[in-house]
Structure 1
Amino acid sequence: MSQTGRTMPRGSAEALNEAYDTALLDLDGVVYAGGAAIAHAVEALGVARDAGMHLAYVTNNALRTPDAVAAHLTELGVPAEPGDVITSAQAVARLVSDQLPQGSRVLLIGGEGLRVALVERGLVPVDSADDDPAAVVQGYGGPDITWGRFAEASYAVARGVPWFASNTDLTIPSGRGIAPGNGAAVEVVRIATGAEPQVAGKPLPPMHRETVLRTGAKKPLVVGDRLDTDIEGAFNGGVDSLLVLSGVTDGAQLLAARPEHRPTFVDADLRGLLTGQPEVAGNDGLFECGGWAASVRTESGEFVLEGDGNAMDGLRALCAAAWSHAGDGVCALDPAKALARLGL
């Protein structure tokens, strides 16, 4: 279902885990941060799984193998099999293998997850630009990746070797805060060479294709914390989405979202999977949800938020006011006062 023209979050009379057959869950910022489970995630996923929802874990992080990710989830109390995990390493490996014959040498700039995915597709990882690679494939290599690896990528790309990237997320959440992601590393090679990589990860179609092929989902719900990867990826794939505020996106960024970054549903964390979503009612510029009413005072360019109740209901009403005001553009109004009323 296309989200083109979305001007407010949608409601759902059914709990989301009953309305959708498969949750396509991002990991960092949704299920865990810095290796530790996010509050309420383990319990909420357990209830959804026991009620019959298929849980698939879709991550742009190419560092770890599906086996390692599944083992980590299981340790956290979220039982998972390697087949439940879909990574951008798998998506980029398929993208490369669609363009090169089996047995082709590929210069690997990344970690074990990317190495395993390339081998799975019949490709041969090499470590030097002097190993005559047919492609360069770059994925997140962890905080200890050396500067020399980016130099090897630059040498090969500058010679005209095709360049692929698992994803271009500029940042990644960690237990200590927001850290540079693979997109920051890709920028290093781009600056050195002036080239542009083919990118596989969210929000681009190769990742959606990989996810559909591996899960067989009929009515999926994308669940994520990032507007520019998770939510835009759902938009590009024509499927519904749930944004949770447990990761990198805050209320101000959500209100300023472009049309392709506007989620179908909004909630604080994964407990939102287990409930219905309240409708937002709009009439003549006034948008109501729960005990809250939001509007835009056009003469002063300010948000007006009145009422009380659940903070998420207030945020949903504000989304409707902001997105309707912006139309196909971006809402540039300052939401600080309105969000402060909600404690967000």
Structure 2
Amino acid sequence: MGGTFVSPTPFCRGNILMEAKTIVTFIKAAELGSFSRTANVLGYSQAAVTVQIKQLEDELGTKLFDRMGKGIQLTSSGERFLPYAHQILKANEQARKFMQQDDEIRGTIRIGTTSSMANAYFPTLLREFSETYPHIKLMLKTSDYFDNLYEKLKQNEIDFALFIDRKMVYKDCNTVVDHPEDMIFIASPDNPLTGQKDIPIREVVKSGFITSDQEVSYPRFLDDYCKDNGIDYDPIMEVSSIIAISEIVASSNSVSFIPRSSIVRALEQGRVVALDVEKDFKCRMYSQIVYRREKWIEPHLGLFMEFVRNRIKRIYDEDNDE
């Protein structure tokens, strides 16, 4: 919800502000015909009841009760005001119910992410979030270029950006999560490299290599690694879709280099396998979620941040326990 909610509990008339408890006192006094009995029923002193009624009369600018000995009786003004008093209490109850319903926070969350994240554990995470918070709408926008996501953040076209990259600190962004991402070389079960141990990177990239879009950080890392180590590296294909890469690899002798989390299902189904490459090759990437530092975090955005932190932590804890 945006902005500040002003409770409709008080009744306003010009500069008049009537508290609900005062209205309750007025209605009860009208029913019982006695300030003393009203005080006993409501748990007030008789003086407190008298003060509340006097304040109400002053605010309305009219007399509400005639004092008749020990009893009281509504004046004509009091009789006219009585239906409005009941309406005020009804509005107060409706406001209370509204605020109780509002505990189920509502809103829209706009998320920009890369295809590798969209194909990883994120669909499950989004489904679980929607099941937990059905009144919060999720909008997912995909781009394989962080520059595009970052621009959308700056223009407030998205609330959060999710991507895989080297661990970085963005001076104008806050980080929700930054968890290490397991990067792997994949091949089909029938690939000649499958089953071999400690395979040199030179052999892995020698032929039939498929790279992700070079605008993504981890393909650039591999490219730099090969250049720095004098390894011939000439991919036969550049494909931006992680799903397409896994399908091509599964049905050919090609090899690729992608985040493990992006093809968990293909690995579980045995359509592709992770190659055992030389131990000296280290590529540390991080799944990161960021938002603009100056952004106002509304309740539904805060819920999403907390949910994502807890859910991703649980995913990584489960992976580390295996």
Normalization by structure 2: what TM-score? 0.26
Normalization by structure 1: what TM-score? 0.25
Give the structure with the higher percent helix: 2
Larger Rg: 2
